[in-house]
Amino acid sequence: MSAVWGGVRRTVPTMVLMAPSSVVTALFPLALLVAALAIVAGGVGLVFLPMVLVVLRLWTDTHRVLAGHLLGRPVRRRFQPLRGGVFSWWRGVFGDPTTWRDLAWLPVQVVIGLPLGLLTALLLGLLLASLGGTLFWWALPDSDPVQLLPGVTIADWGTAVLSGVPVLMVSGVLLIFVVPGLARWWAALTLAVLDRSDAEELEERVEVLTESRAGALAAHGAELRRIERDLHDGIQARLVSIALRLGIVRQTMTTEPDVASTLLAEASEGVEAAMTELRTIVRAIYPPILADRGLAGAVRSLVADCPVPAHLDLDETGELPAAVETAAYFALAEALTNVAKHSGAKSVDVRVRTAGEWLVVEVTDDGRGGIDEAGGSGVVGIRRRVAALDGVVKVESPAGGPSRIVVELPCGR
């Protein structure tokens, strides 16, 4: 019974709104026609037409969410971002398949939504009128008698019950059992027009995976070249120097023991320096602190070493794949470095948690905001590292702050 009433509470108000919604929806073709005529008349429509379509995006997206709510399923929403000037907007709007789905939905909403809205409003009005007429017929003046059925005037409680109860029952039954079904039918039809198809989802998924794979391969190649350069320019040069010193030591050990002793000491220092440099290179591949203290300990260390006062909210993450821990560690390290170097923040909040099958790392600072991803902020590197694991990076950084970076990594749970 609670499920039935829950369905009524969701569907009846939504269906009542369908009537005015359909009227507003019917205005969009008129607005598009005016914009098209404005293009011919004076070119003003070049700006007006994309703006109308952007407003249509918001309008249809509202109904898309309503339909998904009625059906109890998530809605796949994705618009191509609009950037640049007017002509870039034209390309973005008319090149987006969602725009054409929005336009195709307009006649559907007007033809289907308006009758459903009027029917629901009529049934709700009959329900309230029959309830009020049955209970309060006596309060009305004799000059304005109540008639719930044609030709039947309520003059006493008997006629009130006999005429009011049938109307009340019929309208109530239709509202409880028929309107929810009609609402779900409207929602299914709306999503059939507005929602992206599985083929489009698959195509986009393939594009994303292709881009992330290309980025991962590029990042992997750059990492290998960096390691090779560090080994060649650093450790290899030190080892060659050590080998030369040891060769001289072997030749002068008996004839010049003081020189040999000095060279041995220099060779020993060179070995220590080479080991230190090698540990630095290894640390860039897989931080030893992850192996020693786990992700929780590594995160605490990063937060403690942050030059900006930081607050940590760390949930129990459990055992995670090494690749996920490594990506999370370096992403957090880069984000905190970005806060310290560029944000001018006085404090930063770090939260690490798991949400279902995802590891979520959030970094929020109270700095000046306006993160420029192309200006050396480190966000590009975070995106590449996270994309290699099919993760997601969200950046919210309005001018004036605050800034928020959210990293979501699949952890295979």
Please give the pLDDT value at position 392. 84
Q: Are 79 and 98 in contact (CB under 8 A)?
A: yes
Evaluate if residue 144 carries a pLDDT over 70: no
Question: What is the distance between the alpha carbons of residues 89 and 96, in angstroms, rounded to a whole number?
Answer: 11
| Secondary structure class of 115 (helix, strand, coil) | helix
C-alpha distance from residue 278 to each of 282, 295, 391 (Å): 6, 23, 30
Q: Are 281 and 318 in contact (CB under 8 A)?
A: no
Please give the pLDDT value at position 183. 85
Lowest mean pLDDT among 68-82, 104-118, 390-404: 68-82
Please give the pLDDT value at position 217. 58
Average pLDDT score over residue span 6-13: 67
- Percent of the chain whose pLDDT exceeds 90: 1
Is residue 247 very low, low, confident or very high in pLDDT (cuts 50, 70, 90)? Answer: confident
* The dihedral sign for the CA sequence 214, 216, 217, 223: positive
Backbone angles phi, psi at 359, to 5 degrees: -95, 125
Please give the pLDDT value at position 206. 67
Under DSSP, the state recorded for 152 is E
Question: What is the distance between the alpha carbons of residues 229 and 297, in angstroms, rounded to a whole number?
Answer: 31
Is residue 166 very low, low, confident or very high in pLDDT (cuts 50, 70, 90)? Answer: confident
Q: Are 31 and 52 in contact (CB under 8 A)?
A: yes
Is residue 377 very low, low, confident or very high in pLDDT (cuts 50, 70, 90)? Answer: low
Please give the pLDDT value at position 114. 85
Please give the pLDDT value at position 203. 67
Q: Are 315 and 360 in contact (CB under 8 A)?
A: no
* The dihedral sign for the CA sequence 163, 164, 167, 169: negative
Q: Which of 105, 86, 85, 109 is nearest to 97 (CA)?
A: 105
Question: What is the distance between the alpha carbons of residues 190 and 346, in angstroms, rounded to a whole number?
Answer: 48
Evaluate if residue 224 carries a pLDDT over 80: no
Is residue 215 very low, low, confident or very high in pLDDT (cuts 50, 70, 90)? Answer: low
Of 255 and 208, which is predicted with more confidence?
255
Is residue 259 very low, low, confident or very high in pLDDT (cuts 50, 70, 90)? Answer: confident
Please give the pLDDT value at position 388. 77
**Which two tokens mark 363?**
């970094």
- Percent of the chain whose pLDDT exceeds 70: 68
Q: Are 103 and 193 in contact (CB under 8 A)?
A: no
Please give the pLDDT value at position 223. 62
Evaluate if residue 83 carries a pLDDT over 60: no
Q: Are 293 and 285 in contact (CB under 8 A)?
A: no
Q: Are 379 and 371 in contact (CB under 8 A)?
A: yes
**Which two tokens mark 36?**
């098209």
- Give the tens place of pLDDT for each residue, 12-51: 777 777 878 888 888 887 777 777 766 666 666 566 677 7
Question: What is the distance between the alpha carbons of residues 15 and 13, in angstroms, rounded to a whole number?
Answer: 5
Question: What is the distance between the alpha carbons of residues 69 and 36, in angstroms, rounded to a whole number?
Answer: 35
Q: Are 352 and 328 in contact (CB under 8 A)?
A: yes
- Give the tens place of pLDDT for each residue, 313-350: 888 877 888 888 888 888 888 888 888 887 788 888 99
Sheet (strand 310-314) strand order: 310-314, 348-355, 358-365, 403-410, 392-396
Evaluate if residue 353 carries a pLDDT over 80: yes
Q: Are 270 and 238 in contact (CB under 8 A)?
A: yes
Is residue 88 very low, low, confident or very high in pLDDT (cuts 50, 70, 90)? Answer: low
- Give the tens place of pLDDT for each residue, 181-206: 888 888 888 888 887 666 666 666 66
Burial per residue of 204-236, b for 16 or more beta-carbon CB atoms within 10 angstroms, e otherwise: eeeeeeeebeebbeeeeeeeeeeeeebeeebbe
- The pTM (predicted TM-score) of the whole model is 0.49
Evaluate if residue 126 carries a pLDDT over 60: yes
- Give the tens place of pLDDT for each residue, 40-65: 666 665 666 777 777 888 888 888 88
Per 3-state DSSP, the chain is made up of helix, strand and coil in percentages (nearest 5) of: 70, 10, 20
Per DSSP, the residues of 204-221 read HHHHHHHHHHHHHHHHHH
Most confident of 81-95, 211-225, 392-406: 392-406
